[in-house]
């Protein structure tokens, strides 16, 4: 069987624009019908690939693809499942190659973050070792914006926009009521080790008196005394205080403020929610009335307020991924390269997965203000272009977005059942 089919899979926490990447992959592949056969998608990411649960995307119409590009979540299903090293669990890599071979697949796209880049890299090397002709390509996605090499990660710009708008709007609410009600508002955002999302909230602070007054980054050791003094000073000066805290905020010894004492499927510490922890400090030490909120899934699924720049990035990496496969590349990832800040210009470059997998990009020191509670002009120059523009989804007459939930045809299985480890 000619191995000219494609397998696309989504991995890890989804983003507002990951389906825009998927749509771009499918659309681009259809433009090369003379060289590319069918485009399959793995149901539920790498788990579905291992279990041979594949779906055929050929039934998606042009209208479906337009709706797909506007739909949050992962239409094909994602998963949190980390493949172990080839030495530890060779059977899973061999099984994946068997699935690809059984369905004439010569290109494997893994759309995800750091762990996904590592998986795509390992698959590329396993295919080479086994002599299977495969283009294994990682496609960047992560709201945490912590992938190395790429200027930014598709998904981050839209989350950054959501967070900046949300803290601005919530702060206006708090300002309205602060004389007789809530004086401290705390908004928790994602970001376990890197404070990019928390930093994006700082874009709302266009003038010195604007919120948020305090941002707590994972990169800056939390000092309770210093924090409480800053809260009190803001309440005294402005009548209220808006705080944005990254879920990964930690003490000087590295302990998370919200360490839940367990780990997830990737071996990462489970965090139990840092906003209520910080809120309790404010209440017990200062006595200010407070409210807190956790952005959680809302921030990574808010397609209704997606950044147009982010959508363009997401589509571009999907398109170039197909082109890289046609050129015979493997073990690589299309990445965003910034050409200039003002005007904002960018292009797609190619990076080796070896240079991306297991590397983590944190906030540079020059992006964090001297007091550790805000962002610098350099950070604003980096962040601001990423939230520019709107890309509203199509709405129905019922006032809701016309998001896609397609009924896709399952591909007939050809191999025995398999249970991932």
| Lookup result for tokens 């009521």 | 177
Q: Sort strands 214-216 and 241-246 into parallel, antiparallel or unpaired.
A: parallel
| Lookup result for tokens 């399952």 | 410
Report the distance separating Cα 337 and Cα 362, nearest Å.
Answer: 17
Tokens for 367, please give them: 């992006």
Q: For the chain, what's the residue count?
A: 421
Tokens for 218, please give them: 């994972």
Sheet holding 39-42, edge to edge: 345-352, 332-340, 135-140, 105-112, 5-10, 39-42, 54-56, 409-410
Q: Which of 101, 118, 144, 310 is catalytic?
A: 144
Q: How many CA atoms lie within 13 A of 90 on its CB side?
A: 4
Verify whether residue 223 is a known catalytic residue. no
Cβ partners under 8 Å of residue 85, min gap 6: 122
Scored b (16 or more CB within 10 A) or e, 330-355 reads bbbbbbbeeeeeeeeebebebbebee
3 state SS of 202: helix
Phi, psi dihedral angles at 99 (to 5 degrees): -65, -45
User: Do 308 and 160 contact (CB within 8 A), yes or no?
Assistant: no
Report the distance separating Cα 375 and Cα 210, nearest Å.
Answer: 13
Cβ partners under 8 Å of residue 383, min gap 6: 160, 199, 200, 202, 203, 375
**Catalytically active residues, by annotation:** 144
């Amino acid at each position: 069987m000619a191995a000219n089919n494609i397998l696309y899979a989504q991995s890890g926490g989804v983003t507002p624009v990951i389906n825009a990447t998927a749509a771009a992959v499918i659309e681009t592949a259809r433009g090369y019908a003379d060289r590319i056969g069918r485009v399959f998608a793995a149901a539920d990411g790498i788990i579905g690939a291992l279990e041979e649960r594949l779906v055929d995307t050929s039934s998606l119409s042009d209208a479906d693809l337009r709706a797909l590009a506007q739909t949050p979540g992962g239409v094909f299903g994602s998963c949190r499942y980390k493949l172990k090293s080839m030495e530890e669990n060779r059977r899973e890599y061999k099984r994946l190659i068997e699935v690809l071979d059984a369905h004439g697949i010569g290109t494997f796209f893994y759309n995800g973050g750091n762990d996904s880049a590592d998986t795509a890299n390992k698959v590329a090397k396993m295919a080479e070792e086994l002599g299977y002709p495969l283009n294994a390509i990682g496609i960047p996605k992560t709201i945490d914006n912590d992938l190395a090499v790429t200027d930014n990660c598709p998904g981050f710009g839209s989350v950054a926009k959501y967070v900046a708008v949300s803290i601005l709007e919530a702060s206006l609410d708090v300002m309205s009521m602060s004389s007789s009600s809530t004086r401290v508002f705390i908004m928790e955002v994602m970001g376990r080790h890197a404070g990019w999302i928390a930093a994006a909230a700082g874009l709302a602070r266009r003038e010195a008196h604007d919120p948020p007054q305090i941002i707590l980054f994972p990169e800056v050791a939390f000092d309770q005394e210093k924090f409480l003094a800053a809260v009190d000073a803001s309440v005294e000066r402005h009548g209220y205080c808006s705080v944005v805290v990254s879920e990964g905020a930690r003490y000087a010894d590295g302990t998370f403020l919200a360490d839940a004492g367990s780990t997830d499927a990737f071996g990462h510490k489970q965090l139990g929610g840092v906003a209520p922890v910080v809120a309790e400090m404010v209440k017990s030490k200062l006595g200010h009335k407070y409210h807190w909120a956790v952005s959680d899934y809302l921030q990574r699924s808010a397609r209704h307020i997606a950044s147009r720049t982010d959508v363009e990035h997401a589509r571009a990496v999907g398109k170039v991924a197909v082109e890289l496969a046609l050129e015979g590349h493997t073990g690589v990832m299309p990445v965003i390269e910034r050409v200039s800040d003002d005007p904002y210009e960018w292009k797609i470059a190619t990076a080796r997965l070896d240079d991306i997998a297991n590397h983590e990009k944190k906030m540079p020191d020059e992006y964090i203000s001297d007091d550790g509670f805000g962002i610098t002009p350099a950070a604003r120059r980096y962040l601001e272009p990423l939230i520019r523009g709107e890309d509203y989804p199509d709405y129905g007459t019922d006032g809701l977005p016309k998001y896609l939930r397609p009924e896709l045809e399952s591909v007939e299985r050809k191999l025995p059942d398999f249970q991932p480890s």
